[in-house]
Amino acid sequence: MTESLLSSRISSSVSSVSKTEREELLAVAEEIPDLIKLGRGDPDRDTPEHITKAGIEALENGYTHYTHWAGMKELREEIAKKLKRDNELEYDPDGEIVVSTGVQESMYVLFQSLLDEGDEVLMADPHYTSYDAVVEFAGGELTLIPTSEEDDFALQPDAIRENLSPKTKVLVVVTPNNPTGAVIPPDTLEEIADIAKEEDLLVVSDEIYEKIIYEDYEHVSMASFPDMYERTIVLNGFSKAYSMTGWRIGYMAAPADFIEKTERLKHTLTISTNHASQAAALAALKGGDECIEETVDVYRERRDYLMDALDEMGLTYGYPAGAMYIFANIQPTGRNAFEFCKDLLTDAKVQIFPGTTYGNGEGYVRISLLAPTDQLKIAADRMAEVVKGYVG
């Protein structure tokens, strides 16, 4: 096929983007009937009824307009209350909180607002790779800090120090983590905060999985440590905790004079976030955490089942203390991560993603917990058969 005129004139920032292994696997998956999908980070559970109802009622009652660029005042006030209640953070709803089209939009806005050409951003690897794109589009360089199965893939303070350079400007902390399920313990987070202060780093604290923790410890926000408020941008959203990925709603919180400077960019991208989704998010925050607890109980059962199944297959993994994934070591099979995922897809009709989709994750695969429990159990049986085929 000859290339179109428009394609031939594509900008240099876009032309560098090539098709990923993940996209190739998604394309193969489209041809496979009865596939069990443990790939994407998209909850299989419905949005809780009281939230959906609030969204429908909002549409029926004229919530069909632009809002303030930073979101409905009532929602910002409720977010401020949540940040106080859950995270001991004080943010002014009038000026320090921006409601965005998913956390994803906030990520784009904040890196465009923070980075100059060549500025470096540090983050743990394996990682959520949208950070590659938002940093690259802003002219920055992402430096990945290796984590290991031995440490359950938790970011280690010493490793941050080893990867610092004079150009390091921002540290991204994602806990609980996608794709590894790692949770950084509060005392380690405090050490990381100390490094940020010593080295004058800004911190992007992605807390989208904060409510999905399976162990006894409470999530602690990076912004809550002494003197961290001024150098931290908190990201959080509704997609994961409330199974609301398709509503596209999240937010960022940061000091007012920074937020003020992001207005033009946010306004240019989306003017304001979907009105009815904002009403639904308000109902989510007002409705309490019970629905989240139910979801976490379901995910915990699935996680425990899968961990047992992997143990039986003789495969190890980083302990998934949070989020909705298990990052499993498939090296005993002798297959590389992509080959293993392709085999599983075509031979066993189970979709998972190679660790290489998330940076330097060769030898690992990410299994999401996001299929109905009965299907997830079938998927584990099928995977066991495939693994048996390699390791005997």
Residues that bind ligand PLP (CB under 6 A): 41, 102-104, 128, 174, 178, 206, 208, 237, 239, 245, 250
Min dist CB 174 to ligand PLP, Å, is 5
**Cβ nearer to ligand PLP, comparing 353 with 386:** 353
Min dist CB 241 to ligand PLP, Å, is 10
**Cβ nearer to ligand PLP, comparing 276 with 309:** 276
Min dist CB 381 to ligand PLP, Å, is 27
**Spatial CA neighbour of 197 closest among 174, 177, 218, 171:** 171
Tokens representing residue 185 in the block: 């313990």
Q: Which helix (H) or strand (E) holds 391?
A: helix 373-391
What is each CA distance from 198 to 120, 146, 174, 391, in whole angstroms? 17, 21, 20, 49
Min dist CB 102 to ligand PLP, Å, is 3
d(CA 23, CA 77): 39
Residue nearest to ligand PLP (CB): 102
- If one counts every other C-beta atom within 10 angstroms of the C-beta of residue 227, the result is 11
Dihedral, CA of residue 269, residue 272, residue 273 and residue 276, to nearest 10: -140
CA angle 105, 320, 84 (to 5 degrees): 50
Min dist CB 386 to ligand PLP, Å, is 26
* 125-163 as b/e: b if 16+ CB within 10 A: bbbbbebbebbbebebbbbbbebebeebbbbbbebbeeb
**Cβ nearer to ligand PLP, comparing 72 with 309:** 72
* 45-68 as b/e: b if 16+ CB within 10 A: eebbeebeebbeebeeeebeeebe
**Cβ nearer to ligand PLP, comparing 80 with 103:** 103
Min dist CB 105 to ligand PLP, Å, is 7
**Cβ nearer to ligand PLP, comparing 236 with 333:** 236
**Cβ nearer to ligand PLP, comparing 96 with 210:** 210
